[in-house]
A and B are shown apart, each in its own frame.
Chain A
Amino acid sequence: MSPSDDQILQGAIFDETAVLTLGDLSRMCAVDERHIVEFVHEGVLHAVLIESEWRFSGAAVRRARRALRLERDLELNLSGVALALDLMEEIEQLRRELGARR
Protein backbone atom coordinates (compact mmCIF):
# COMPACT_ATOMS: atom_id res chain seq x y z
CA MET A 1 0.00 0.00 0.00
CA SER A 2 3.01 2.30 0.16
CA PRO A 3 2.97 4.59 -2.82
CA SER A 4 6.15 5.06 -4.78
CA ASP A 5 8.27 7.97 -3.68
CA ASP A 6 7.50 10.21 -6.61
CA GLN A 7 3.74 9.79 -6.46
CA ILE A 8 1.97 12.91 -5.24
CA LEU A 9 -1.33 12.45 -3.45
CA GLN A 10 -4.00 15.07 -3.92
CA GLY A 11 -5.27 16.21 -0.56
CA ALA A 12 -8.60 17.93 0.03
CA ILE A 13 -9.57 19.89 3.12
CA PHE A 14 -12.06 17.63 4.74
CA ASP A 15 -13.76 19.99 7.15
CA GLU A 16 -15.00 22.47 4.58
CA THR A 17 -16.25 20.09 1.96
CA ALA A 18 -17.72 17.27 3.96
CA VAL A 19 -21.38 16.84 4.73
CA LEU A 20 -21.80 13.58 6.53
CA THR A 21 -24.86 11.50 7.35
CA LEU A 22 -25.35 9.70 10.64
CA GLY A 23 -24.32 6.48 8.90
CA ASP A 24 -21.11 8.04 7.50
CA LEU A 25 -20.08 9.36 10.88
CA SER A 26 -20.86 6.11 12.64
CA ARG A 27 -18.76 4.17 10.12
CA MET A 28 -15.86 6.61 10.25
CA CYS A 29 -15.74 6.47 14.02
CA ALA A 30 -16.44 2.72 14.12
CA VAL A 31 -19.26 3.07 16.61
CA ASP A 32 -22.94 2.31 16.64
CA GLU A 33 -25.29 4.99 15.28
CA ARG A 34 -27.08 5.07 18.64
CA HIS A 35 -23.87 6.23 20.23
CA ILE A 36 -23.65 9.18 17.83
CA VAL A 37 -27.30 9.99 18.56
CA GLU A 38 -26.46 10.13 22.27
CA PHE A 39 -23.57 12.47 21.51
CA VAL A 40 -25.93 14.83 19.69
CA HIS A 41 -28.49 14.78 22.48
CA GLU A 42 -25.83 15.52 25.05
CA GLY A 43 -24.43 18.37 22.96
CA VAL A 44 -21.09 16.65 22.32
CA LEU A 45 -21.76 16.88 18.59
CA HIS A 46 -23.67 19.43 16.59
CA ALA A 47 -25.93 18.29 13.77
CA VAL A 48 -27.97 20.32 11.31
CA LEU A 49 -31.28 19.10 9.95
CA ILE A 50 -31.46 18.80 6.16
CA GLU A 51 -34.65 17.26 4.81
CA SER A 52 -35.43 15.94 8.29
CA GLU A 53 -32.11 14.07 8.40
CA TRP A 54 -29.06 14.88 10.46
CA ARG A 55 -25.96 16.17 8.72
CA PHE A 56 -22.51 16.62 10.24
CA SER A 57 -19.45 18.59 9.21
CA GLY A 58 -16.06 16.96 8.74
CA ALA A 59 -14.89 18.56 11.97
CA ALA A 60 -17.43 16.38 13.78
CA VAL A 61 -15.29 13.32 12.99
CA ARG A 62 -12.39 14.74 14.93
CA ARG A 63 -14.60 15.73 17.83
CA ALA A 64 -16.46 12.42 17.91
CA ARG A 65 -13.26 10.38 17.85
CA ARG A 66 -11.83 12.44 20.63
CA ALA A 67 -15.04 12.00 22.62
CA LEU A 68 -14.87 8.24 22.13
CA ARG A 69 -11.27 8.11 23.32
CA LEU A 70 -12.10 10.11 26.43
CA GLU A 71 -15.08 7.91 27.15
CA ARG A 72 -13.14 4.71 26.75
CA ASP A 73 -9.82 5.65 28.31
CA LEU A 74 -10.93 7.87 31.16
CA GLU A 75 -14.23 6.10 31.78
CA LEU A 76 -16.11 9.39 31.57
CA ASN A 77 -19.85 9.60 31.19
CA LEU A 78 -21.47 11.65 28.43
CA SER A 79 -21.82 14.91 30.30
CA GLY A 80 -18.23 14.53 31.51
CA VAL A 81 -17.09 14.08 27.92
CA ALA A 82 -19.07 17.13 26.79
CA LEU A 83 -17.55 19.24 29.57
CA ALA A 84 -14.01 17.98 28.91
CA LEU A 85 -14.29 18.69 25.18
CA ASP A 86 -15.58 22.20 25.73
CA LEU A 87 -12.81 22.95 28.23
CA MET A 88 -10.17 21.45 25.95
CA GLU A 89 -11.32 23.62 23.07
CA GLU A 90 -11.26 26.66 25.30
CA ILE A 91 -7.71 25.83 26.39
CA GLU A 92 -6.64 25.39 22.77
CA GLN A 93 -8.16 28.77 21.96
CA LEU A 94 -6.37 30.41 24.92
CA ARG A 95 -3.07 28.78 24.01
CA ARG A 96 -3.44 30.09 20.48
CA GLU A 97 -4.10 33.61 21.77
CA LEU A 98 -1.19 33.33 24.14
CA GLY A 99 1.02 32.21 21.27
CA ALA A 100 -0.23 35.17 19.23
CA ARG A 101 0.71 37.53 22.02
CA ARG A 102 4.21 36.27 22.66
Chain B
Amino acid sequence: MEFKDYYKVMGVARDATEAQIKQAYRKLARKYHPDVSKEKDAEAHFKEVGEAYEVLKSPEKRAAYDQLGRGHRPGEDFRPPPNWDAGFEFSDAGPGDSSHSDFFDALFGARARAGAGGRGTFRAGHGEDHHAKVMLDLEASLHGGTRTFTLQMPEFDEQGRLALQQRTLNVQVPKGILAGQQIRLVGQGARAGEGGTPGDLYIEVEFQPHSLYRIDGRDLSLELPVAPWEAALGATVKTPTPGGMVELKIPPASHGGSKLRLKARGIPAAPPGDFYVVLQIALPPADDDKAKAAYAAMAAALPFNPRATLGA
Protein backbone atom coordinates (compact mmCIF):
# COMPACT_ATOMS: atom_id res chain seq x y z
CA MET B 1 0.00 0.00 0.00
CA GLU B 2 1.29 3.44 -0.84
CA PHE B 3 1.60 6.15 1.72
CA LYS B 4 -0.66 9.06 0.75
CA ASP B 5 0.45 12.63 1.31
CA TYR B 6 -2.83 14.33 2.12
CA TYR B 7 -1.14 17.71 2.44
CA LYS B 8 0.14 17.44 -1.10
CA VAL B 9 -3.28 16.36 -2.37
CA MET B 10 -4.80 19.48 -0.84
CA GLY B 11 -1.90 21.68 -1.89
CA VAL B 12 -1.35 23.04 1.62
CA ALA B 13 1.66 23.26 3.93
CA ARG B 14 2.06 20.77 6.76
CA ASP B 15 1.43 23.54 9.28
CA ALA B 16 -1.65 24.89 7.48
CA THR B 17 -4.39 26.24 9.70
CA GLU B 18 -7.88 24.81 9.78
CA ALA B 19 -9.11 27.82 7.84
CA GLN B 20 -6.49 27.32 5.13
CA ILE B 21 -7.39 23.66 4.79
CA LYS B 22 -11.07 24.47 4.53
CA GLN B 23 -10.37 27.11 1.91
CA ALA B 24 -8.21 24.73 -0.11
CA TYR B 25 -10.89 22.05 0.07
CA ARG B 26 -13.66 24.33 -1.11
CA LYS B 27 -11.63 25.46 -4.08
CA LEU B 28 -10.66 21.92 -5.11
CA ALA B 29 -14.16 20.58 -4.46
CA ARG B 30 -15.67 23.15 -6.80
CA LYS B 31 -13.07 22.33 -9.41
CA TYR B 32 -13.50 18.57 -9.31
CA HIS B 33 -17.06 17.98 -8.13
CA PRO B 34 -18.51 15.37 -10.52
CA ASP B 35 -21.79 17.27 -10.82
CA VAL B 36 -20.05 20.47 -11.83
CA SER B 37 -16.69 19.60 -13.31
CA LYS B 38 -15.80 18.98 -16.93
CA GLU B 39 -12.24 18.00 -15.97
CA LYS B 40 -10.95 14.61 -16.94
CA ASP B 41 -10.98 12.11 -14.08
CA ALA B 42 -12.93 14.61 -12.01
CA GLU B 43 -14.50 11.89 -9.93
CA ALA B 44 -11.22 10.25 -8.99
CA HIS B 45 -9.70 13.63 -8.12
CA PHE B 46 -12.72 14.57 -6.10
CA LYS B 47 -12.59 11.37 -4.08
CA GLU B 48 -8.92 11.90 -3.33
CA VAL B 49 -9.54 15.48 -2.21
CA GLY B 50 -12.55 14.44 -0.12
CA GLU B 51 -10.52 11.76 1.59
CA ALA B 52 -7.66 14.15 2.35
CA TYR B 53 -10.08 16.70 3.73
CA GLU B 54 -11.83 14.15 5.88
CA VAL B 55 -8.55 13.44 7.62
CA LEU B 56 -7.11 16.94 7.78
CA LYS B 57 -10.25 18.71 8.96
CA SER B 58 -10.55 16.51 12.02
CA PRO B 59 -7.97 17.47 14.68
CA GLU B 60 -7.86 13.91 16.01
CA LYS B 61 -7.38 12.24 12.65
CA ARG B 62 -4.92 14.85 11.56
CA ALA B 63 -2.82 14.37 14.68
CA ALA B 64 -2.87 10.60 14.24
CA TYR B 65 -1.97 10.95 10.59
CA ASP B 66 0.87 13.39 11.33
CA GLN B 67 2.37 11.07 13.90
CA LEU B 68 2.16 8.17 11.50
CA GLY B 69 3.51 10.22 8.64
CA ARG B 70 6.86 10.91 10.29
CA GLY B 71 9.47 8.89 8.52
CA HIS B 72 7.26 8.00 5.55
CA ARG B 73 7.54 9.34 2.07
CA PRO B 74 4.61 9.52 -0.32
CA GLY B 75 4.43 6.59 -2.69
CA GLU B 76 6.54 4.47 -0.37
CA ASP B 77 5.26 1.06 0.58
CA PHE B 78 3.37 1.46 3.79
CA ARG B 79 1.79 -0.75 6.41
CA PRO B 80 0.28 0.73 9.55
CA PRO B 81 1.89 -0.64 12.71
CA PRO B 82 -0.44 -2.55 15.01
CA ASN B 83 -2.31 -0.31 17.42
CA TRP B 84 -0.84 2.75 15.75
CA ASP B 85 -3.99 4.66 16.63
CA ALA B 86 -4.07 3.79 20.32
CA GLY B 87 -4.59 6.90 22.36
CA PHE B 88 -6.57 8.77 19.74
CA GLU B 89 -10.24 9.31 20.05
CA PHE B 90 -12.31 9.53 16.90
CA SER B 91 -15.45 11.55 17.27
CA ASP B 92 -16.25 11.77 13.58
CA ALA B 93 -18.72 9.18 12.34
CA GLY B 94 -16.73 8.90 9.15
CA PRO B 95 -17.69 8.04 5.62
CA GLY B 96 -21.16 8.45 4.26
CA ASP B 97 -21.43 6.79 0.90
CA SER B 98 -18.05 7.74 -0.48
CA SER B 99 -15.49 5.05 -1.04
CA HIS B 100 -11.95 5.50 0.21
CA SER B 101 -8.52 4.35 -0.77
CA ASP B 102 -7.02 1.24 0.81
CA PHE B 103 -4.67 3.58 2.62
CA PHE B 104 -7.56 5.42 4.26
CA ASP B 105 -9.41 2.21 5.05
CA ALA B 106 -6.34 0.74 6.71
CA LEU B 107 -6.11 3.82 8.92
CA PHE B 108 -9.66 4.83 9.64
CA GLY B 109 -11.96 2.54 7.69
CA ALA B 110 -13.03 -0.28 9.93
CA ARG B 111 -13.30 1.97 12.97
CA ALA B 112 -15.31 4.64 11.25
CA ARG B 113 -17.71 2.14 9.79
CA ALA B 114 -18.21 0.36 13.09
CA GLY B 115 -19.20 3.64 14.67
CA ALA B 116 -21.31 4.95 11.85
CA GLY B 117 -24.14 2.48 12.23
CA GLY B 118 -25.02 2.75 8.57
CA ARG B 119 -27.80 4.77 7.09
CA GLY B 120 -30.46 2.21 7.74
CA THR B 121 -32.64 4.48 9.82
CA PHE B 122 -35.15 5.02 7.08
CA ARG B 123 -37.06 1.84 6.61
CA ALA B 124 -36.00 -1.28 8.40
CA GLY B 125 -35.63 -4.17 6.01
CA HIS B 126 -35.49 -2.03 2.89
CA GLY B 127 -32.25 -2.07 0.92
CA GLU B 128 -30.74 1.14 -0.33
CA ASP B 129 -31.54 2.32 -3.86
CA HIS B 130 -28.65 2.49 -6.28
CA HIS B 131 -28.07 5.05 -8.99
CA ALA B 132 -25.98 4.83 -12.13
CA LYS B 133 -25.53 6.65 -15.41
CA VAL B 134 -25.14 5.05 -18.85
CA MET B 135 -24.51 6.13 -22.44
CA LEU B 136 -27.23 4.89 -24.75
CA ASP B 137 -27.53 4.80 -28.53
CA LEU B 138 -30.47 6.77 -29.92
CA GLU B 139 -31.84 3.69 -31.69
CA ALA B 140 -32.59 2.06 -28.35
CA SER B 141 -35.00 4.88 -27.56
CA LEU B 142 -36.42 5.06 -31.09
CA HIS B 143 -37.24 1.40 -31.43
CA GLY B 144 -36.87 -0.02 -27.93
CA GLY B 145 -34.70 -3.08 -27.46
CA THR B 146 -32.36 -4.82 -25.09
CA ARG B 147 -29.02 -3.33 -24.16
CA THR B 148 -26.24 -4.64 -21.97
CA PHE B 149 -24.82 -2.29 -19.35
CA THR B 150 -21.75 -2.92 -17.28
CA LEU B 151 -21.89 -1.08 -13.98
CA GLN B 152 -19.35 -0.66 -11.20
CA MET B 153 -20.87 -0.80 -7.77
CA PRO B 154 -19.11 -0.40 -4.46
CA GLU B 155 -20.09 -3.22 -2.14
CA PHE B 156 -18.98 -4.33 1.27
CA ASP B 157 -17.44 -7.77 1.51
CA GLU B 158 -17.58 -10.11 4.53
CA GLN B 159 -14.82 -8.19 6.29
CA GLY B 160 -16.73 -4.95 5.86
CA ARG B 161 -14.24 -3.63 3.31
CA LEU B 162 -15.43 -1.63 0.39
CA ALA B 163 -14.66 -3.12 -3.02
CA LEU B 164 -15.79 -2.29 -6.54
CA GLN B 165 -17.96 -5.03 -7.97
CA GLN B 166 -18.68 -5.24 -11.65
CA ARG B 167 -22.09 -6.36 -12.74
CA THR B 168 -23.58 -6.82 -16.15
CA LEU B 169 -27.24 -6.14 -16.72
CA ASN B 170 -29.40 -6.89 -19.74
CA VAL B 171 -32.06 -4.24 -19.78
CA GLN B 172 -35.14 -3.86 -21.92
CA VAL B 173 -34.88 -0.15 -22.72
CA PRO B 174 -38.25 1.56 -22.70
CA LYS B 175 -39.14 3.08 -26.06
CA GLY B 176 -39.18 6.87 -26.09
CA ILE B 177 -36.78 7.47 -23.20
CA LEU B 178 -35.10 10.89 -23.27
CA ALA B 179 -31.70 12.09 -22.13
CA GLY B 180 -31.72 12.86 -18.42
CA GLN B 181 -34.54 10.43 -17.68
CA GLN B 182 -34.11 7.40 -15.47
CA ILE B 183 -34.88 3.75 -16.02
CA ARG B 184 -36.10 2.10 -12.86
CA LEU B 185 -35.20 -1.53 -12.23
CA VAL B 186 -37.17 -2.82 -9.29
CA GLY B 187 -35.22 -4.90 -6.80
CA GLN B 188 -31.81 -4.36 -8.43
CA GLY B 189 -30.46 -2.06 -5.72
CA ALA B 190 -28.78 -3.08 -2.51
CA ARG B 191 -29.76 -6.23 -0.70
CA ALA B 192 -31.85 -5.81 2.41
CA GLY B 193 -31.56 -7.51 5.75
CA GLU B 194 -33.36 -10.77 6.39
CA GLY B 195 -36.95 -10.74 5.18
CA GLY B 196 -36.62 -7.24 3.71
CA THR B 197 -37.09 -6.02 0.18
CA PRO B 198 -34.04 -5.07 -1.87
CA GLY B 199 -33.64 -1.50 -3.08
CA ASP B 200 -34.16 -0.39 -6.67
CA LEU B 201 -31.64 0.58 -9.31
CA TYR B 202 -32.08 3.83 -11.21
CA ILE B 203 -30.18 4.24 -14.45
CA GLU B 204 -29.89 7.75 -15.81
CA VAL B 205 -29.63 7.88 -19.59
CA GLU B 206 -27.43 10.06 -21.77
CA PHE B 207 -27.29 9.66 -25.57
CA GLN B 208 -24.20 9.01 -27.61
CA PRO B 209 -23.90 11.41 -30.55
CA HIS B 210 -25.79 10.06 -33.56
CA SER B 211 -24.30 9.78 -37.03
CA LEU B 212 -27.27 11.44 -38.78
CA TYR B 213 -29.55 13.11 -36.29
CA ARG B 214 -29.01 15.80 -33.73
CA ILE B 215 -30.89 15.29 -30.51
CA ASP B 216 -32.62 18.15 -28.74
CA GLY B 217 -34.82 16.86 -25.93
CA ARG B 218 -37.53 14.88 -27.71
CA ASP B 219 -36.93 16.51 -31.11
CA LEU B 220 -34.52 15.28 -33.75
CA SER B 221 -33.08 17.14 -36.70
CA LEU B 222 -31.26 16.26 -39.88
CA GLU B 223 -29.23 18.41 -42.23
CA LEU B 224 -30.41 17.48 -45.71
CA PRO B 225 -28.28 18.49 -48.69
CA VAL B 226 -30.32 19.69 -51.70
CA ALA B 227 -29.34 20.97 -55.14
CA PRO B 228 -29.91 24.69 -55.82
CA TRP B 229 -32.70 23.95 -58.29
CA GLU B 230 -34.45 21.61 -55.86
CA ALA B 231 -34.57 24.43 -53.32
CA ALA B 232 -35.55 27.09 -55.88
CA LEU B 233 -38.14 25.18 -57.88
CA GLY B 234 -39.36 22.75 -55.27
CA ALA B 235 -38.90 19.00 -55.47
CA THR B 236 -39.75 15.70 -53.87
CA VAL B 237 -36.62 14.04 -52.48
CA LYS B 238 -35.82 10.95 -50.47
CA THR B 239 -34.79 11.56 -46.88
CA PRO B 240 -33.98 9.27 -43.97
CA THR B 241 -36.16 9.59 -40.87
CA PRO B 242 -36.16 7.53 -37.67
CA GLY B 243 -39.12 5.62 -39.10
CA GLY B 244 -37.35 4.86 -42.39
CA MET B 245 -36.92 6.53 -45.79
CA VAL B 246 -39.69 8.94 -46.77
CA GLU B 247 -40.44 11.12 -49.79
CA LEU B 248 -40.13 14.69 -48.61
CA LYS B 249 -41.74 17.57 -50.48
CA ILE B 250 -39.53 20.64 -50.63
CA PRO B 251 -41.58 23.77 -51.29
CA PRO B 252 -40.48 26.14 -54.08
CA ALA B 253 -38.38 29.16 -53.05
CA SER B 254 -36.75 27.33 -50.16
CA HIS B 255 -33.26 28.41 -49.17
CA GLY B 256 -30.30 27.15 -47.18
CA GLY B 257 -31.31 26.83 -43.52
CA SER B 258 -35.02 26.39 -44.31
CA LYS B 259 -36.53 24.16 -41.65
CA LEU B 260 -39.21 21.63 -42.52
CA ARG B 261 -41.09 20.01 -39.67
CA LEU B 262 -42.36 16.46 -39.71
CA LYS B 263 -44.73 16.37 -36.78
CA ALA B 264 -44.42 13.56 -34.23
CA ARG B 265 -41.61 11.82 -36.10
CA GLY B 266 -38.97 12.52 -33.44
CA ILE B 267 -38.38 10.42 -30.34
CA PRO B 268 -41.56 8.39 -29.65
CA ALA B 269 -42.00 9.76 -26.15
CA ALA B 270 -45.31 10.87 -24.67
CA PRO B 271 -45.95 13.30 -26.30
CA PRO B 272 -43.73 12.38 -29.25
CA GLY B 273 -41.05 14.77 -30.45
CA ASP B 274 -40.89 16.32 -33.91
CA PHE B 275 -38.45 15.65 -36.70
CA TYR B 276 -36.85 18.65 -38.40
CA VAL B 277 -35.16 18.68 -41.77
CA VAL B 278 -32.80 21.60 -42.23
CA LEU B 279 -31.97 22.29 -45.88
CA GLN B 280 -28.39 22.72 -46.89
CA ILE B 281 -27.69 23.92 -50.43
CA ALA B 282 -25.03 21.77 -52.09
CA LEU B 283 -23.38 23.28 -55.15
CA PRO B 284 -22.62 21.06 -58.11
CA PRO B 285 -18.89 21.13 -58.87
CA ALA B 286 -17.86 23.14 -61.95
CA ASP B 287 -15.21 20.67 -62.99
CA ASP B 288 -15.99 20.24 -66.68
CA ASP B 289 -16.91 22.49 -69.63
CA LYS B 290 -20.57 21.56 -69.54
CA ALA B 291 -20.93 22.54 -65.89
CA LYS B 292 -18.97 25.73 -66.42
CA ALA B 293 -21.23 26.65 -69.33
CA ALA B 294 -24.29 26.07 -67.18
CA TYR B 295 -22.95 28.38 -64.46
CA ALA B 296 -22.03 31.00 -67.07
CA ALA B 297 -25.54 30.81 -68.56
CA MET B 298 -27.02 31.31 -65.09
CA ALA B 299 -24.75 34.28 -64.42
CA ALA B 300 -25.84 35.85 -67.71
CA ALA B 301 -29.53 35.18 -67.13
CA LEU B 302 -29.87 36.26 -63.47
CA PRO B 303 -29.24 39.77 -62.16
CA PHE B 304 -28.19 38.38 -58.77
CA ASN B 305 -26.05 40.11 -56.17
CA PRO B 306 -25.68 37.88 -53.08
CA ARG B 307 -23.99 40.76 -51.22
CA ALA B 308 -26.76 43.30 -51.78
CA THR B 309 -27.52 43.57 -48.06
CA LEU B 310 -23.86 44.34 -47.31
CA GLY B 311 -23.95 47.49 -49.48
CA ALA B 312 -21.24 45.95 -51.64
Binding site for B on A (CB under 8 A): 1-3, 5-16, 18, 26-28, 30, 58-59, 61-62, 65-66, 69-70, 72-75, 84, 88, 92, 96-97, 99-100, 102
Cα separation A14 to B217 with both chains bound (whole Å): 16
Evaluate whether A13 and B35 lie within 8 angstroms (CB atoms) in the complex, with A27-B123, A73-B29 already known: no
Can you give 20 contacting A-B residue pairs, CB < 8 Å?
Answer: A3-B169, A3-B170, A9-B188, A11-B172, A11-B203, A13-B176, A13-B177, A13-B183, A16-B181, A27-B122, A30-B122, A30-B128, A58-B182, A59-B181, A65-B131, A70-B35, A74-B26, A74-B30, A92-B180, A97-B216
B126 near A27 with CB under 8 A, answer: yes
A10 to B221, CA, bound (A): 29
Q: Is the interface of A mostly helix, strand, loop or mixed?
A: helix
Contact A12–B174 (Cβ < 8 Å): yes
- Nearest residue, chain B, Cβ from A29: B129
Q: How many residues of B contact A (CB 8 A)?
A: 47
Cβ contact within 8 Å between A11 and B174: yes
Given A8-B172, A11-B183, A14-B202, A100 and B126 touching (CB < 8 A)? Answer: no
B 177-216 to A, binary, CB cutoff 8 A, 1 in contact else 0:
1011111110010010000001000111000010000111
- What are the interface flags for B27-53 relative to A under an 8 Å C-beta threshold, 1 for contact and 0 otherwise? 001100101100000000010001000
Q: List the B side residues contacting A8 at CB < 8 Å.
A: 146, 170-172
Residues of A within 8 A of B50 (CB): 73
Q: Which one of B36, B172, B176, B182 lies within 8 Å of A9 (CB-CB)? A: B172
B residues in contact with A10, CB < 8 Å: 172, 185
Residues on B with beta carbons closer than 8 Å to the beta carbon of A14: 181-184, 202
